[in-house]
Every structure is written in C-alpha cells, then in structure tokens.
Amino acid sequence: MVFDPKSIGDHSPVVIHGQNIAQVDSYRYLGIHIDNKLTWSVQVENICSRVQQRLHFLRRLRVFGVNQKVLLLFYHAIVESSILRYGNLSVQLKAQITRLTQTAMKIMAAEADHADADDVCVFLSHGENDHVYAHDAKIRIQDITDLLRGDKCRSLVGKPKIFILQACRGDKHDEPVTPMDVVDSEAKTNEVVVDAGVVYTLPAGADFIMCYSVAEGCI
C-alpha cells in the first residue's frame, strides 16, 4: 500500500527481488483498517458494522428485562470499547459514530426507572443555533430532549423536564442596556460619568421566559 493522502495519482510499481508487489487501497494490521488516504473511512465502516451487531444484543437484553446496571456494564464492556476515536475524521464519519452512541443511549434510557426522580439537565459548553458542542462533535438539542419524551422514557411521564443550556446560539452580540430606576428616570444635566466600566448592564434580550403549548414543529 502506498500512502497518498493528497491524491497525487498513479505510482510506479514496487519491485522487490524482481517481483512486483501488489498495491492495495487498504490493509488490516493488528485489527485496524488503514487506507492509503488516511481517512479512516474503512475502519469506521468496520466499527459501525460491529457496533450495530452489538446493539442488537443490547436491545435483546432490554426486552428480557435486564436491569439498568447490567445494561450499562454491557455497553461499556462490549459496545463502547469498540468505538475508537480518531482526531482527523471527517464530519460525516464523526456523525456516523455519534449516531451509534446516541442509539445506545436511547436503548438504555428507555429502560431506566425514573419514578422517584425529576429531570434537570444542565449543559455548559459552546454551541450554535440548535446545537451544543461535545468533545468531538456537535449534538442537536432536540436529539437530547427526544430521549426523555414520554414515548421513549415512560417513567418520566407527567414529570417536569428542565433543561438549562449555557451555550452560544449564534454569532451575534446581544446589545447591552442599563437598568433604569426612579433616580435614573429623572432628567439630569451636566452629569459627569466617573467610571463607565462599573455601570451595571443587562443583555437586551434578558428577562424573557418563553412558554409554548406544543413542541417546536408540532401543531
């Protein structure tokens, strides 16, 4: 195999002791598939295939009524151990692995008994629009909330589900405003500001609590 990450083109045949050495696009070494572009695409496909098979057994364990601790042990030992992380994966390949992890979480979350618990989820991260950033990917907020819907997690039906997200939602800066009290409302002249840096300001979009009768996209 000749490594050609920049797609230079055809390469001269490799000859050793008068014999042409066959060139391949990928090669398996110590259980890892290495491709000549170093994209890890073949390895990710192999991982996804293995994990899909193991998720089938995770589903069967849930159907048989195995408790949550055993499901979590099976996930860490059999499923998660197969998911290797690579720093230079493309966005598409990262998304494939992320979807598998989310599927496993859905399987286990649906089985957990939360009858004696309320749900408060706090996220402190970076973000954009409807996503928050994780260690190696960005996750849709709706994908997170979907895990706790009544049809996915029945033991939380009728319980409040509170999400607090400390993350950006775009690239605009909210315009700051200065709170006005009774003294501020009076007209003043010849006022000198000594230190503008200590003026207490609030985001212009503060003090809103938005409540909707239905979920986003529903009627």
Which has the closest alpha carbon to 135: 206, 87, 187? 87
Catalytic option among 33, 48, 126, 153:
126
Catalytic option among 33, 48, 114, 168:
168
Helix axes 41-63, 91-111, angle to 10 degrees: 10
For the question of residue 76 being annotated catalytic, the response is: no
Residue 143 CA: distances (Å) to CA of 84, 117, 140, 157, 161: 22, 21, 5, 18, 14
Structure tokens at 73: 């042990």
CA dihedral 108, 111, 117, 119 (to 10 degrees): 50
Q: Which helix (H) or strand (E) holds 122?
A: strand 119-124
For the question of residue 126 being annotated catalytic, the response is: yes
Which has the closest alpha carbon to 71: 111, 113, 127? 111
**Measured in whole angstroms, how far is the alpha carbon of residue 106 from the centre of its chain?**
14
Structure tokens at 176: 């700051």
8 A C-beta contact, residue 37 and residue 90: no
Label the pairing between strands 119-124 and 161-166: parallel
Place of tokens 């059999």: 78
Place of tokens 């000594």: 194
Catalytic residues: 126, 168
